[in-house]
Structure 1
Amino acid sequence: MFSRGNRGNTLHGILLIALFSFSAFYIAEIPFVKSLSFSPLIVGIILGMIYANSLRNRLPETWVPGIKFCTKQVLRAGIVLYGFRLTLTQVAEVGLPAVVIDTIVVAGTIFLGIWLGRLLKIDKDTALMTSTGSAICGAAAVLGAEPVVKCEGHKTAIAVSTVVIFGTISMFLYPIMYRAGLLDGLSDMGVAIYTGSTLHEVAHVAGAGNAMDPTDALGIAGPATITKMIRVMMLAPVLVIMSFALAGRKRVDAEGRPVKSKIAIPWFAFGFIGIICLNSLLQYLTGAETVKDIPLNGAIEYIDTFMLTMAMTALGTDTSIDKFKQAGAKPFVLAFLLYIWLVGGGYLLTKYLVPALA
């Protein structure tokens, strides 16, 4: 990829994705886009998809390795650096109820998604990616699963699209439910855990939490985000289990001959956990009250967001309308059914388990 004869073309592909990513950061700061809580990652994949359906055929094929580099190496490095947003202290702050409910929601969503995928006769990779995104942390989880599942780029983009749509709906729905009294059966901590354990993206949880509790006086906004970050932590063990589960799956090569998959240990997942532990140590040594107060944390988070935006944009450039048509409406039906489970099942879990575990 970076051989002497191909180095320049590869860099051209990377620079093209970087240019789109800078644009995504700029667009994400536009007030209207910001009000929708669309992160640069989401804007990036949209820009990539626009490019895929307009000027993609004019891209020199020699630039493609640079784009592939963004969807693999840059992506994995971004997932590792994502650990700087988390500390082990956050787990202790919300306690056992959040951990238990997060675990049930994550495991239940993935298994339910796989089962529903079979009933709907959806491609296994698409069903697994959609389920993982709904279960853990939206687009970031889909990106993390992509190197393990090893599916085509357009399937990743389809999975991202589903979690973005339903996560955005939830961001507006949950505050409406709260104000309408539909969540009166939950305590303030219960509302926080329910929000953090069932919404898709971290940005969606932050948006919904702030809408219900702008000053965090009720203890909803903060604990909701922490509950969500515990879910994010579960990405690493899920990827390891997924890697072993997919090891025996049979695939076919370009000539149609069966090829047995090997165990692909997601080392970046261990790096993710290692960074969380390092970040926890840094918080202790520096005496920082929150993750945001740890020295250089803000700069690292910005760099990480840019790297993940590059990965999302690169995936978008491989996603044309024809591929969405080929996938059909079934992935969105699957995402909708999982959404019903998250909203309804998550509420019942929170209502009965939080008082029992508190």
Structure 2
Amino acid sequence: MLEKGNRANTLHGILLIALFSFAAFYIAEIPVVRRLSFSPLIVGIVLGMLYANSLRNRLPETWVPGIRFCTKQVLRWGIVLYGFRLTLAQVAAVGVPAVVVDLIVVTVTILGGVLLGRLLKIDRDTALMTSTGSAICGAAAVLGAEPVVKCEGYKTAIAVSTVVIFGTLSMFLYPVMYRTGMLNGMTDTEVAVYTGSTLHEVAHVAGAGNAMDPTDALGIAGTATITKMIRVMLLAPVLVIMGFVLAGRRKESGGETGKRRIAVPWFAFGFIGIIGLNSLLQSLCGVETVREIPLNGTIEYVDTFMLTMAMTALGTETSLDKFRQAGARPFVLAGLLYVWLVAGGYFVTKYVVGML
């Protein structure tokens, strides 16, 4: 990708995406955008899509390798560094009930999404990407799955769009449900686990949790975020399992000949390794939160910028024509998964937390 002779043109493509990403960070700080909890990642893909549908044809083809570099290598390193946001201590802090609820929600959402995708006659890649985003952590999960599924960029963008729409809706819906008494049948702990295990993005969970419990006096905001982080940790094992399953299917369909090649997402193991390292650093530094670990805030900022670059690059590969080709079915799928998360997640949380 950065071979000698083509290095300058590739760097031009990377620089273009970096400039868009800087703009995304600036826009994300605008008060109205911040109130909507639109992260730089979401702003980045929107900017990329605007570019794709306006000035994309004027981009020199020699710059394209730089854009693809951002959607591949930069993305993988961004997922690895995402582990600096998490620690194993977070799992112990909320206990077994949150882990069990997260496992049920993630498993049923992915498997149910793939099955619904078949019934709706949606292509397998789009259904799998949409289900993974709904199941784990929204856009970040879709980005993590992209190198494993190996689908076209526009399918990734469609999956991201669906989780952004329904995740943002949830961020406003859950506080309304809480304030109007619709969640009175739950304890504060159950409300927190329910919120963390069913909302799409980490930002959505934080926004909803703070709206319900601004000072965290009831423990809703903190426990909801921790429950969500446990769900994020499930990204690595899900990607590994996904790699083995997809490799087997490609072999059966004749997509590969000779020795079977398993698409093991090695960056997922790096993600797990970083979580372990972060846990060790937290212990050695004797701090209560990961943000207090020296340089952790800087690393998180760099990581967010790298993921924003990846999202922006994917956006530049996505035109409205490709959305039209996909039709409304992916959004119907995401809507059905959303109903399951809101309604099914409620009963799963009540049952599991009540039993354990």
Shorter chain as denominator, the TM-score bin is over 0.9
**Residue in structure 2 matched with residue 327 of structure 1 by the alignment:** 326
Q: CA deviation at 1:258?
A: 4.5
Q: Does 1:127 align with 2:135?
A: no
Deviation of the 1:262 alpha carbon: 2.8
Corresponding residue of 1:86? 86
- Letter of the 2:269 counterpart: F
Give the superposition deviation at 1:61: 0.3
The answer to whether 1:314 aligns with 2:304 is no
In the alignment, the residues of structure 2 paired with residue 138 and residue 318 of structure 1 have an alpha-carbon distance, to the nearest angstrom, of: 20
- Letter in structure 1 aligned against 2:330: P
Larger deviation: 289-298 or 236-245? 289-298
Q: 1:11 — aligned with what?
A: 11
Q: Who is 1:212 aligned against?
A: 212
Q: Equivalents in 2 of 1:125, 1:278: separation in Å? A: 33
1:288 aligns with 2:270: no
Residue 5 of structure 1: how far off its partner (Å): 1.0
Which stretches of structure 1, 4 residues or longer, exceed 6 Å deviation after superposition?
A: none
Correspondence for 2:68:
68
Inter-partner Cα distance in structure 2 for 1:140 and 1:3: 29
Amino acid of the residue matched to residue 122 of structure 1? I
Aligned residues: 354
> After superposition, what is the alpha-carbon deviation per residue over 1:301-344, rounded to whole angstroms, capped at 9, x for unaligned?
00000000000000000000000000000000000000000000
- Which amino acid is 1:208 matched to? A
SS at match of 1:67: helix
Does the Cα contact within 8 Å between 1:79 and 1:144 map onto a contact in 2? yes
Report the secondary structure of 1:292's partner residue. helix
Q: How does 1:251-266 map to 2 (within 5 A)?
A: 258-259=255-256, 262-266=261-265
Summarize the alignment of residues 50-199 of structure 1 with structure 2, pairs less than 5 Å apart: 50-199=50-199
CA distance in 1, matches of 2:93, 2:255: 49
CA shift digits 1:4-41 (9 cap, x unpaired): 21000000000000000000000000000000000000
Q: Give me the whole-angstrom Cα distance separating, in 1, the residues matched to 2:293 and 2:3.
A: 39
Partner SS for 1:121: coil
Deviations 1:242-262 (A, max 9, x none): 0000002239xxxxx944573
Cα pair 1:186 1:350 within 8 Å, conserved? no
Separation in 2, partners of 1:338, 1:331: 11
Once residues 147 and 261 of structure 2 are traced to their aligned partners in structure 1, the CA distance between those partners, rounded to angstroms, is 13
- Write out per-residue CA displacement over residues 80-135 of structure 1, whole angstroms, 9 at most, x where no aligned residue: 00000000000011000000000000000000000000000000000000000000
Report the 3-state secondary structure (helix = DSSP H, G, I; strand = E; otherwise coil) of the residue aligned with 2:248.
coil
In the TM superposition, residue 3 of structure 1 has moved relative to its aligned partner by 1.7
Instruction: State the distance in 2 between where 1:352 and 1:181 align.
Output: 19
Question: Which residue number in structure 2 is paired with residue 254 of structure 1?
Answer: none
1:304 aligns with 2:303: yes
**Aligned residue identity for 1:201:** E
Q: Percent identity?
A: 81
Matched, 1:23 2:23: yes
1:41 aligns with 2:41: yes
- In structure 1, how many angstroms separate the alpha carbons of the residues matched to 2:136 and 2:20? 27
State the match for 1:277 in structure 2.
Answer: 276
CA contact (8 A) 1:282 1:294 kept: yes
Helix, strand or coil at the partner of 1:105: helix
Q: Distance in 1 between matches of 2:108 and 2:2?
A: 42
Q: CA RMSD in A?
A: 1.3
User: What SS does structure 2 have at the residue aligned with 1:250?
Assistant: helix
Distance 1:351 1:229 in 2: 20
**Which letter maps to 1:60?**
P
CA contact under 8 A between 1:193 and 1:223: conserved in structure 2?
A: yes
Name the CA distance, whole Å, in 1 between partners of 2:91 and 2:255. Answer: 44
CA distance in 2, matches of 1:248, 1:189: 41
Q: Does 1:356 align with 2:355?
A: yes
